[in-house]
Amino acid sequence: MRPLESREHEVIIVGAGVLGSAMAYSLGNQGRKVLLIERDFTEPDRIVGELLQPGGVNALKNLGMGDCLDHIDAVWNTGYTILFQGEKAFLPYLFEDGKPMQGCSFHHGKFIAALREKAMSNDNISIKEASVTELISSVVRKKEIVGVKCLAKNQQSHEHYFAPLTIIADGCFSKFRNCLLSKKPQVKSNFVGLVLKDIVLPSPHQGHVVVGDNAPILLYQIGTHDTRILIDVPGKLPSQADGSLKRYVEKAADALPEYLRPALIQALSTQRIRSMPNSFLPPSSNSTPGVIILGDAMNMRHPLTGGGMTVALNDVVLFTKLMRNVIFENTNEVMDIMQIFHWRRKHFCTVINLLAQNLYSLFAADDCTMRVLQQGCFYYLQSGGVWAEHPIGLLSGIYKNPPLLFVHFFLVALYSIFRLIRSKGLSGLFLGPFVLWEACCVIFPILATEFQT
C-alpha cells in the first residue's frame, strides 16, 4: 500500500497546455489540491492552436480566465471569409445582446504562457517541471492508477507522486494514449506554416479559407504585424531536404490573391518551413479507474475549423461542473460520472468534429463528385441568411445542436445536385445520385465514430 502521507494532492494533471492549465485552475478554484506537471514550462512555439472560436472565448470566461486573452497582442475576429475561384463568401459571427460575437487569434505560446501564469496564481495548485515516465498502478487493484513516476530536469532519480485521480492532458503526441485507449489517430494530411509580415487580408479581422483546385489554405492574423498562413498538404509530406516541400508551397501561392503572393515568397526565403500533422481521433470513454485522458490525447479533429481549443475548454467547463461535489477517492462514482461526461459532451464536440472532417473533405475535393459538393457548399454559404448563420453558429461553438448540422449538410448536398442539374441538364440528373451517395460516404462514417465508446 502507498503511504497515506504521500497523497497530498487530490488530482495530478499531466500536461500544462490549454486543457491542463485550464483544468488545474478550475479544480483549484473548487478548493482541490492540484499538482500540475509539465515537461517544459518555457513558452511553446507551435503553428496551430492559434485561433479560439467564440464558443471557446465564452468557455474561457466561464472559467474565470478571460483575462488570459489580454496583453498577448491578440487579434479579435468577427467571422470568416471564404475565397473560391475569385469569389467571396462572408460568414460573420452571430450577435449576442445586440453585439457581434468575437473569436480571438494569437501566438500560441503567448496564450499558453498566460494560461499557465493564471493557474500558478491559485494557491491550491503546485507545479512540477518534469517528464512523467510511468503511471503507477495500485498494489491491491492492479488496473487502478494511483499516481505517476516522473523525472525532473537534470535529475537522475525518479520521483513518485500519488493522488486519487490523474488527468492525462499531454496533447496530440500523447505518451500514454496507447496504454489507455484502443483508438489510434489517423493522419491524412499535414499543415505547413509560415508567418506573413505586415500584410492586410482581404477582410481584416476575419479568418480566411482559400479553396480551389488544391487543398485548402488558411490565413488569419495572430498579432499586430503577423499573419499565419497554413497550407494543407494531403498525403505524405514532401521532403524539405531536397526542396520538394518548398516547391509545393510556391505552387500553392498561385491560389492566393495576387497581392499576397510576394509576402509568401518573402517568408519562404527567410523562415524555416514548419509542419504539423492533421490528425483525426474519435472520442473514447475512459475505462481505467483512477485516470482520465482528455484533450487532444483523447479526441482530435482536422484543425481547418479551429475547433480544438473550443472543445477542450468546453470539456473543462462540463467536467468541473459534473465533478463539483464528487470525492475523487470514490473511484466508482468518478467512473460513472465520466460515462455521463462522455455522452453529454457530444452536444458540442460532435458538431465540431463532424464539421472539421466534413468541411475538409469538401474543401480538399479531389474528384468530380466531391467538386460538385465543394461548389455547392460555397454557393450555399454565400447565399447568406440562415444558410450561413446556422453553419457559422455551429462552427463557432455557439450552436450545440448535432441534428441542425445534419440537416444543413444534406441541404448542401441537395443544393449541389440542383445546381448540377441546372447547369448540366439530363447528364446532371444522372450524376445526382452519385453526388448524394458521395455525401453519405463523407458524413456517415465520421458520425458512426461519435456513437462508439
Classify residue 407: in a domain, yes or no: yes
Q: pLDDT digit string (tens) for 46-75? A: 999 999 999 999 999 999 999 999 999 999
Tell me: do 42 and 125 sit in the same domain.
Answer: yes
Tell me: do 39 and 68 sit in the same domain.
Answer: yes
- Which of 419, 409, 298, 437 minimizes the C-alpha distance to 351? 409
As a whole number of Å, the CA-based R_g of the chain is 23
CA distance 232 to 283: 24
Give percent above pLDDT 90 in the chain: 91
Range of the domain at 416: 362-450
- Which of 264, 260, 227 minimizes the C-alpha distance to 248? 264
Q: Average pLDDT of 94-107?
A: 93
CB atoms within 10 A of CB 147: 24
The number of residues in the chain equals 453
Tell me: do 270 and 230 sit in the same domain.
Answer: yes
pLDDT at position 8, please? 83
Tell me: do 288 and 303 sit in the same domain.
Answer: yes
Among candidate residues 245, 262, 279, the one where a domain is terminated:
279
Q: pLDDT digit string (tens) for 316-371? A: 999 999 999 999 999 999 999 999 999 999 999 999 999 999 999 999 998 899 99
CATH number at residue 10: 3.50.50.60
Q: Across all residues in the chain, what is the average pLDDT? A: 94
CATH number at residue 269: 3.30.9.10
CA angle 441-443-447, nearest 5°?
Answer: 120
Predicted confidence band at 7 (pLDDT cuts at 50, 70, 90)? low
Task: List the grid coordinates of 23.
Answer: 483544468
Tell me: do 63 and 169 sit in the same domain.
Answer: yes
Partner residues linked to 13 by β-bridges: 36, 167
Classify residue 12: in a domain, yes or no: yes
Classify residue 95: in a domain, yes or no: no
State if pTM tops 0.85. Answer: yes
Query: Residue 391 gets which letter from DSSP?
Result: H
Please determine, for residue 123, whether its predicted confidence score (pLDDT) is greater than 90: yes
pLDDT at position 452, please? 82
Helix (H, G, I), strand (E, B) or coil at 55: helix
Q: Average pLDDT of 429-451?
A: 94
CA distance 93 to 206: 10
pLDDT at position 302, please? 96
Tell me: do 243 and 177 sit in the same domain.
Answer: no
Tell me: do 121 and 198 sit in the same domain.
Answer: no
CB 27 within 8 A of CB 64: no
Tell me: do 252 and 292 sit in the same domain.
Answer: no
Please determine, for residue 121, whether its predicted confidence score (pLDDT) is greater than 90: yes
Listed in sequence order, the residues at least 6 apart from 93 whose beta carbon sits closer than 8 Å to its beta carbon are 54, 77, 78, 79, 100, 101, 102, 103, 392, 396, 398
Helix (H, G, I), strand (E, B) or coil at 133: strand
Classify residue 98: in a domain, yes or no: no
Tell me: do 176 and 253 sit in the same domain.
Answer: no
Among candidate residues 258, 279, 300, the one where a domain is terminated:
279
Tell me: do 430 and 301 sit in the same domain.
Answer: no
Classify residue 339: in a domain, yes or no: no
Classify residue 345: in a domain, yes or no: no
Classify residue 41: in a domain, yes or no: yes
Torsion sign (Cα): 443, 314, 318, 62: negative
pLDDT at position 453, please? 76
Classify residue 270: in a domain, yes or no: yes
Number of domains in the chain: 3
Tell me: do 198 and 275 sit in the same domain.
Answer: yes
Q: Average pLDDT of 188-193?
A: 96
CA distance 44 to 90: 33
Tell me: do 152 and 9 sit in the same domain.
Answer: yes
